[in-house]
Structure 1
Amino acid sequence: MSFTIRAIVIYSHTGAQRIVPFRSHGLNIITGKSKTGKSAIIDIVDYCLSRGSFNVAEGAIRKKVAWFGLHIAKGSDEVFIARDNPGPGASTGSKVYFQRGNVDVYPTLETISKNTTESSLKEFVTRFTGIAENEHRPLTGTRRPLEANISHALWLCFQKQNTIASQDQLFHRMNEQFLPQDLKDTLPYFLGAVDESHFLLMGELDELQRRLKLLEATESKQLQTIEVTRSRVTRVLNEGKKVGLVGQDYQAVDDTVFRYLATIAEFPMDEAELISDFGETIQRLRGEQSTLQNRLNDLNQDVRAARSFLSDQTDFSREATEQRARLKSIELFKSEVSSPYQCPFCESELRTPIPKVDEVRQSLHEVSEQLEGVYRDSPHIQRHITELEAKILRASDDLRLVQRELQKSVMENEAAKARQDQMLARGKFLGRLSEFLESVSPQADDDGVGSQIAELRELIAGIKSRINNDDTESRLETILSFISEKMTEYSKNLDLEHSGSSLRLDLKKLTVVANTVDGPIPLNRMGSGENWVGYHVLSHLALHWWLRMKERPVPAFLIFDQPTQAYYPPDSTEGGLDQIEKDADRTAVQALFKLMATACTEIKADFQLIVLDHAHLKDEWFESAIVAEWRGNEALVPYDWPENTA
């Protein structure tokens, strides 16, 4: 049993959610006009299932979406995966969010954050799909062994718009270098021609062959004839001195050095010291230090401001006192002066008028009041400065205390790391020392080596007889014959060229072949886009019929993008059959969707067929399969979502 898609969830930069739900079994149709985001569904699913690159086309989706989410389930086991949108022009994101368990409510944008890595996500999804440990080993030595993973499985689950109508490419991404060979190598495992027991036997064979090689080396005295030079022993001793396991004054004078090294090899390793907070204390103290430094800076600025204000008041007081002294001369004025042009002292006539006595007295009164205010405020300001200076002293003491604690924590942290580094170095040395001693020490007992070799060779021969490549090829041919029969059966529902002929899946060339009386005809020699689309559809339906019947470790969904693209005019906005000009084309579209619906009822649950298309048939079975329709103001990404301005 593998997983299906429960929903796709996308998040705007403001936290709004767009949820596209799916039924866990049967036909799921998303219909709508062009440029509404249908074709992005495959890229979003592929990206959330751990693909390294992000391939959604440039446009509104890259500008308006913050995160992409995918809700998948295998029975009652549910998983929610989210990945960040790298934005316009970028090739991949850096954040992966993962949540396992019942997903009743999707997490909000505020709660989504990176909690795993892309490589960890790929490993999890591979195992969640049901892909066990496996390894394809080429018969020739020109290629490295290949282990099937979720990336290989998804090539069987996607049919993008440019693939489903291709005459040269039957499977997803097979136009990329090296990938066709990888699919050929992993398909026998996915189809079930080799199972998990095959790989267990391969692992057992590896272990037996390793032991055989070691015994054969022992028998031929290869281990005993290794020449140990003084320089090699010296290098080992010098390594031991560096890590403190060999005394600095020890010198190798005879063969007793091997017994000495054997004793060193038994040195007990202490458990690694755990640094409980991994630098959290240092980070906290640095934060406190920064806070206190900012506090001291603020207090010093306050003191400077208060002193500046006090200085300004002192200057004002000095000037005001002098002005009041000058105005005091009012007491020398005559009490009655009839004209502003008459001198108040000698009563002579003046060319320039002088202020009235009342005005001078008023000025004197105002200056006196201002001086009294200054005298009242000065003690308060002095007291405020004293309080600020006391706070500065306390903050300085706190800062010195935090700096001492910080220095102590840094030193302790460095010391703990040094101890860990030393323990790691000792562990590596002891491992190399054990290997060295095994290679140079004579075998204690050579009796029975010959019989052990004979026994191992017999076991190896038995396992090799069970791992028979001819049997694997025979099983693969049998599986392909069943799939081919189903393809031929499906073809009778479509009016295609060579429909009804014996069809087969050619894994060597990764294409569909029709066996006719005139010879085999591959897909690239079949004419018209209608034929190409039809053979893509029936081939993948037959493939998933087998995968689900045998519960193979491939995701239990299949996504077709625009299977009716060859029939609708490019400028049509609705998906009704009346927009197709030819009667034969209308019949072909009806038959294509009917085949999909019928196949879904035949394929074992849970199987999910998701079709992204322009069409909207008026049949009840078609409309009941629609999960979303994007026309008018509806689209995958709502038109009113804002673009990212960051």
Structure 2
Amino acid sequence: MSFIIRSITIYSYAGETRTLTFRTHGLNIITGRAKTGKSSISDILDYCFGRSECYVAEGVIRQHVSWFGVEVQNGDGVLFIARRNPGQSGNTSPDIYIRRGAYDAPPLYPDLHKNTTEEALIRLLTRFAGISENENRPLTGTRGPLQATIRHALWLCFQKQDEIASRERLFHRQGDQFIPQHIKDTIPYFLGAVNEEHFLRQNELDVARAHLRQLESRRVALSRNSTNVLQRLRRFLLDGKRVGVIDQHFDSDDFDVCVQTLGNAIKADIQAPAIHSDSSEQISRLEDELYTLRQQLSNVQSDTRATRLFLGEQNAYTREVVEQRARLSSLHLFTGKAQSIEECPLCESQLEAPTPSVEDINSSLAVLDKQLQTVVAESPHLQQRLDVLNKKKSEIGTAIVDAQRALERAYTEDARAKAQRDQVIERARVVGRISAFLEELAPSEEDSDLDNQIERAKHSVEALEEVVSAEDVGQRIDTFLNLISDKMSYYAKQLELEHGGSRVRLDLKKLTVVADTVTGPIPLNRMGSGENWIGYHVLTHLALHHWFRSRNRPVPGFLVFDQPSQAHYPPEADQEGRLDPLEDDDRRAVHNLFELMHEASEDIGDGFQLIVFDHAHLEVDWFEDAIVEEWRGAKALVPASWIESP
């Protein structure tokens, strides 16, 4: 069995709770005046069952409720689902709480927190409803396969106030984009026209078809190979000659000889006569050595330039001083014999006025002579230094030339080794292609029996296609719809609807109800009056759920009708739920409608709930027994104390 609804709980922002408990089977009625929150229950259920947006109307509920909670049961399994109210003007909330197992009371407000996601919730509810792996594959069109989930099943479980009285739309959300096609694609699974065994056979058919395609592709490949085998044979002979595994002078048109030659070629030694070891290490060493020598040469050249510059400056200084002393000596202007400041240091005559210290001049000249002697003494050492540097530079230059030659030889050897390696790789590649070609030429035992294998695979595919054929599925759908039509026609007579004496059926192609009359088929949108539209909505969904429960299909075991009496008992006529103000025909129609819902829910039995929200209150025992709550006066879904609290 699928799941039913045990209770609905709402939480205030102060942490208070309000729980609405349902009977687990049969008719459940919430009656009361307008604007008490009855219609919002459908939106709360839809939202808690994984709808992406919250459609609870703006107003009291949005303002004063913090979380919505629903408790569902499947056999012994119980699941509590809560979603946070997105608040006024909000579309949705990511906060979803799930609790598994049966408890005496709903979770406390502080316990509510996000512990799952919307996608995970849908997967969980899909399994909880008993929906197994399935897939609808469209035979035409461009849309892809579709897998039925709980969201698709719920379209068969709700009839909101504006839907139950529609002449154009039969199912919940049928007016939304893409949903009509999704209903058409998934309802065969929910009806049982395609079951779990069907999907197993479909998977076997997919495997069988793939195997057949492989065998047929193999046969086509073999056929193509036989037409161009000679061209490929000649091409491989040329490749073998090019890389040296076949004699350059070989020339024959005999097929067997050519094949034998190729067979010998794949046995040839593909290694080169001599492949030198990798010289990259030697090249790296020589490059480092050459770099070091060039650094040394640069240093020697710098020292030589500095020595030559110093020697040149010394020689210029010496030449200048010697020239000056030679001039003085040649004119005999300075003798260096003056002993006091009264004597002229040049002519040794007596001076009338004292002159600077002759001793200072003599001392300076003595220092100059000493420096000149030192410079003259250092000159041979500098020249010797230049000779050593020039010799060292010559030696380094020779070493650089030798290193460059050795590096060039290493480069040459490395290039030759790489070329030989490339030749070996190319030989291996050609030999590999020749080997694969020869394997293709050799017929295997599998290929020799290929035709028989293809025939057996075709028979297997044909047998599976008969089991999962679209025609067979279509016939089962038609059969099931005929059986459902019997129940619909029976309900239509009970409600005394227009065309109720005709055969009434569900048209899945157009997603509508059709009455087959002697003048032709009449669809729902060509029938008059709201009474007919509501009546046919009610009987169609009751007949479908009668089928679902009798066949134990994975559709939730509840059905929600919102304001089914609106055609006869609109909200403005509400007088505490009494039907006295209504005309006799209207009273009888409302009574017949609720009586049908009561009898049908009892007929369907355990595992099915019919939840009805309405203004009417019939004063009969079975209606009184079915009332879950009556919201009149100050009583409503949201307690008055929540609204009055700040």
TM range (shorter): 0.5 to 0.7
- Aligned position for 1:79: 79
Cα pair distance change 1:587/1:131, threshold 3 Å = same
- Aligned position for 1:108: 108
3-state SS of paired residue (1:624): helix
Cα pair distance change 1:551/1:644, threshold 3 Å = farther
For 2:62, give the aligned amino acid.
Answer: R
* In 2: Cα distance, 1:118 partner to 1:532 partner: 35
1:252-275, CA deviations, whole angstroms, 9 ceiling, x for partnerless residues? xxx9xxxxxxxxxxxxxxxxxxxx
Quote how far apart the aligned CAs of 1:570 are: 3.3
Cα pair distance change 1:445/1:15, threshold 3 Å = farther
- Aligned position for 1:290: none
3-state SS of paired residue (1:534): helix
- Aligned position for 1:189: 189
* In 2: Cα distance, 1:512 partner to 1:555 partner: 22
For 1:471, give the aligned amino acid.
Answer: D
Cα pair distance change 1:553/1:525, threshold 3 Å = same
Matches within 5 A, 1:445-460: 446-449=444-447, 450=450, 451-460=452-461
Matches within 5 A, 1:134-283: 134-221=134-221
- Aligned position for 1:90: 90
3-state SS of paired residue (1:577): coil
Cα pair distance change 1:580/1:159, threshold 3 Å = farther
Quote how far apart the aligned CAs of 1:158 are: 0.2
Quote how far apart the aligned CAs of 1:39 are: 0.3
- Aligned position for 2:629: 628
3-state SS of paired residue (2:495): coil
Quote how far apart the aligned CAs of 1:211 are: 2.9
Unaligned runs of 5+ in 2: 233-265, 267-435
1:259-316, CA deviations, whole angstroms, 9 ceiling, x for partnerless residues? xxxxxxxxxxxxxxxxxxxxxxxxxxxxxxxxxxxxxxxxxxxxxxxxxxxxxxxxxx
1:133 and 2:133 are equivalent in the alignment: yes
3-state SS of paired residue (2:110): coil
- Aligned position for 1:467: 468
For 1:165, give the aligned amino acid.
Answer: A
* In 2: Cα distance, 1:570 partner to 1:595 partner: 22
Quote how far apart the aligned CAs of 1:573 are: 4.5
Q: Is the 1:6–1:22 contact (alpha carbons within 8 Å) kept by the matching residues of 2?
A: yes
1:389-408, CA deviations, whole angstroms, 9 ceiling, x for partnerless residues? xxxxxxxxxxxxxxxxxxxx
Quote how far apart the aligned CAs of 1:644 are: 11
User: How big is the alpha-carbon RMSD for the aligned residues of Structure 1 and Structure 2?
Assistant: 2.6
* In 2: Cα distance, 1:643 partner to 1:134 partner: 50
Cα pair distance change 1:129/1:643, threshold 3 Å = farther
1:554-573, CA deviations, whole angstroms, 9 ceiling, x for partnerless residues? 00000000001122243345
Unaligned runs of 5+ in 1: 228-254, 256-439
Quote how far apart the aligned CAs of 1:43 are: 0.9
Aligned length: 436
Quote how far apart the aligned CAs of 1:34 are: 0.5
3-state SS of paired residue (2:568): coil
- Aligned position for 2:551: 550
Q: Is the 1:549–1:604 contact (alpha carbons within 8 Å) kept by the matching residues of 2?
A: no
* In 2: Cα distance, 1:550 partner to 1:632 partner: 43
Q: Which sits farther off after the overlay, 154-163 or 210-219?
A: 210-219
Q: Is the 1:63–1:643 contact (alpha carbons within 8 Å) kept by the matching residues of 2?
A: no
For 2:549, give the aligned amino acid.
Answer: R
1:130-150, CA deviations, whole angstroms, 9 ceiling, x for partnerless residues? 111111111114221111111
* In 1: Cα distance, 2:212 partner to 2:510 partner: 39
Identity within the alignment, %: 54
* In 2: Cα distance, 1:176 partner to 1:527 partner: 24
Q: Is the 2:34–2:615 contact (alpha carbons within 8 Å) kept by the matching residues of 1?
A: yes
For 1:448, give the aligned amino acid.
Answer: E
3-state SS of paired residue (2:569): coil
Quote how far apart the aligned CAs of 1:576 are: 3.1
Quote how far apart the aligned CAs of 1:165 are: 0.5
3-state SS of paired residue (1:512): strand
1:91-118, CA deviations, whole angstroms, 9 ceiling, x for partnerless residues? 1110111111112221111011111111
* In 2: Cα distance, 1:44 partner to 1:212 partner: 51
* In 1: Cα distance, 2:474 partner to 2:505 partner: 16
* In 1: Cα distance, 2:553 partner to 2:620 partner: 33
Quote how far apart the aligned CAs of 1:491 are: 1.4
1:180-213, CA deviations, whole angstroms, 9 ceiling, x for partnerless residues? 1111111111111111111111111112222333
Q: Is the 1:564–1:615 contact (alpha carbons within 8 Å) kept by the matching residues of 2?
A: yes
* In 2: Cα distance, 1:94 partner to 1:614 partner: 34
**If the length of structure 2 is used for normalisation, what is the TM-score?**
0.64
Cα pair distance change 1:638/1:212, threshold 3 Å = same
* In 2: Cα distance, 1:207 partner to 1:644 partner: 65
3-state SS of paired residue (2:555): coil
Higher helix share: 2
Q: Is the 2:2–2:128 contact (alpha carbons within 8 Å) kept by the matching residues of 1?
A: yes
3-state SS of paired residue (1:30): strand
Give the number of the structure whose alpha-carbon radius of gyration is greater. 2
Q: Is the 1:480–1:505 contact (alpha carbons within 8 Å) kept by the matching residues of 2?
A: yes
Q: Is the 2:571–2:615 contact (alpha carbons within 8 Å) kept by the matching residues of 1?
A: no
- Aligned position for 1:310: none
1:494 and 2:492 are equivalent in the alignment: no
Matches within 5 A, 1:299-310: none
- Aligned position for 1:539: 540
Q: Is the 1:13–1:64 contact (alpha carbons within 8 Å) kept by the matching residues of 2?
A: yes
For 1:585, give the aligned amino acid.
Answer: D
Quote how far apart the aligned CAs of 1:580 are: 3.5
1:31 and 2:19 are equivalent in the alignment: no
Matches within 5 A, 1:392-411: none
* In 2: Cα distance, 1:617 partner to 1:489 partner: 23
3-state SS of paired residue (1:52): coil
* In 1: Cα distance, 2:582 partner to 2:197 partner: 56
Quote how far apart the aligned CAs of 1:643 are: 9.3
* In 1: Cα distance, 2:572 partner to 2:463 partner: 66
Cα pair distance change 1:187/1:578, threshold 3 Å = closer
3-state SS of paired residue (2:596): helix
For 2:86, give the aligned amino acid.
Answer: P
Quote how far apart the aligned CAs of 1:445 are: 8.8
Matches within 5 A, 1:559-570: 559-570=560-571
Matches within 5 A, 1:23-62: 23-62=23-62
Q: Is the 1:39–1:161 contact (alpha carbons within 8 Å) kept by the matching residues of 2?
A: yes
* In 2: Cα distance, 1:487 partner to 1:643 partner: 48
1:139-186, CA deviations, whole angstroms, 9 ceiling, x for partnerless residues? 114221111111111111000000100111111111111111111111
Cα pair distance change 1:595/1:194, threshold 3 Å = same
For 1:148, give the aligned amino acid.
Answer: A
* In 2: Cα distance, 1:537 partner to 1:134 partner: 29
* In 2: Cα distance, 1:530 partner to 1:193 partner: 32
* In 1: Cα distance, 2:106 partner to 2:582 partner: 44
Matches within 5 A, 1:294-443: none
**If the length of structure 1 is used for normalisation, what is the TM-score?**
0.64
- Aligned position for 2:526: 525
Cα pair distance change 1:526/1:99, threshold 3 Å = same
Q: Is the 2:576–2:632 contact (alpha carbons within 8 Å) kept by the matching residues of 1?
A: no
Quote how far apart the aligned CAs of 1:453 are: 3.5
Quote how far apart the aligned CAs of 1:126 are: 0.8
Q: Which sits farther off after the overlay, 212-221 or 122-131?
A: 212-221
3-state SS of paired residue (1:205): helix
